[in-house]
């Protein structure tokens, strides 16, 4: 069993709390609208394809989707900004989140961006004044438990294992798993498929028997410690709930079937709506 050092864990939990609460963090999401080919109107009026909060104009502009390119046309001089520049008239093609360098439109402090999920494009809206962000009472955690800081053997997939990744809104995409991490809990051996990250840690999505009881029903996410040689430490005290546990406007990957395992991990983040 690995010993658990409390101070770094407490700091990490404070950092993920701060990240969640930031101005354009997950709590600020206020809309997700899938685009139709052609024109998609945006504004606070009921007839718009993309609904803005009530404090904004009834008709504020139009998003055009043509051959997988999204552009934005302002209706009037409302002060729209594209990234750091005032936007007048029609924008060029807007870069989506999948590009790694997305464009953002701003109207006052409202932010809009294009997201790409397989072959579908949508407009995501962040509103720092969204009630969910204003009333959030904080993440909840199990007490730290050194028994859930566990060494695992890295069993690489060579080549990487091709998988289909389903998400919370029903979209499926192709993905890959780089390794199987094998570990023991008490006398039982388990394994989880994982993606290797650039710093040689691993990203895991899993579900255990606490899901729907004291943790988020769809599962939790976890980034391991940095691997050393053929082993890596999985610290389940750092398991956290996906963004979909805080907002209905996120699109969260779900666990692979093999990452649903019959044991309770009472460590990491709890789900406050359940207890």
Please state, in angstroms and rounded to a whole number, the distance separating the CA atoms of residues 185 and 101. 41
* Straight-line distance from the first to the last Cα atom of the chain, in angstroms, rounded to the nearest whole number: 29
Residue 7 has pLDDT above 80, yes or no: yes
Which pLDDT score, from 0 to 100, does residue 4 have? 75
- What single-letter DSSP state applies at residue 267? -
Q: Which two tokens stand for residue 111?
A: 């932010």
The structure's pTM equals: 0.92
Under the banding of pLDDT at 50, 70 and 90, the label for residue 2 is low
Which pLDDT tens digit goes with each residue over 25-43? 999 999 999 999 999 999 9
Cis peptide bond upstream of 127, omega within 30: no
Q: What angle do CA 150, 224, 171 make, to 5 degrees?
A: 120
pLDDT band for 3, please (50, 70, 90 cuts).
low
CB 247 within 8 A of CB 125: no
Mean pLDDT value across residues 137-141: 95
Distance CA 42, CA 75 (A): 10
Half-sphere exposure at residue 121, Cβ-oriented, CA atoms within 13 angstroms: 25
How does pLDDT run across 178-218, given as a tens digit for each residue? Answer: 999 999 998 899 999 999 999 999 999 999 999 999 999 99
Tokens of 56: 């904004």
Q: Could you give all domains of the chain from N- to C-terminal order, each with its CATH number?
A: 6-21+139-270 (no CATH), 26-127 (2.60.200.20)
């Amino acid at each position: 069993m690995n010993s658990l050092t409390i101070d770094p864990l407490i700091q990490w939990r404070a950092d993920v709390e701060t990240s969640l609460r930031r101005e354009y963090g997950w709590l600020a999401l206020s809309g997700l609208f899938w685009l139709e080919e052609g024109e998609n109107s945006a504004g606070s009026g009921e007839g718009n394809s993309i609904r803005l909060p009530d404090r904004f104009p009834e008709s504020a502009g139009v998003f055009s989707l043509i051959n997988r390119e999204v552009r934005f046309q302002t209706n009037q001089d409302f002060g729209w900004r594209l990234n750091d520049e005032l936007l007048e008239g029609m924008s060029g093609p807007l870069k989506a989140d999948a590009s790694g360098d997305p464009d953002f439109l701003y109207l006052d402090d409202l932010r809009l961006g294009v997201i790409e999920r397989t072959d579908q494009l949508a407009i995501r809206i962040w509103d720092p004044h969204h009630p969910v962000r204003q009333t959030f009472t904080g993440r909840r955690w199990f007490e730290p438990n050194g028994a859930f800081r566990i060494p695992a053997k890295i069993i690489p997939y060579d080549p990487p294992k091709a998988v289909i990744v389903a998400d919370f809104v029903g979209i499926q995409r192709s993905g890959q798993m780089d390794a199987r991490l094998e570990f023991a809990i008490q006398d039982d051996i388990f394994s989880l498929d994982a993606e290797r990250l650039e710093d040689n840690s691993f990203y895991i999505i899993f579900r255990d028997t606490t899901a729907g009881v004291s943790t988020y029903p769809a599962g939790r996410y976890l980034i391991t410690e940095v691997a050393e040689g053929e082993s890596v430490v999985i610290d389940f005290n750092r398991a956290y709930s996906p963004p979909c546990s805080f907002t209905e406007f996120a699109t969260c990957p779900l666990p692979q079937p093999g990452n649903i395992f019959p044991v309770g991990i009472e460590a990491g983040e709890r789900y406050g709506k359940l207890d």
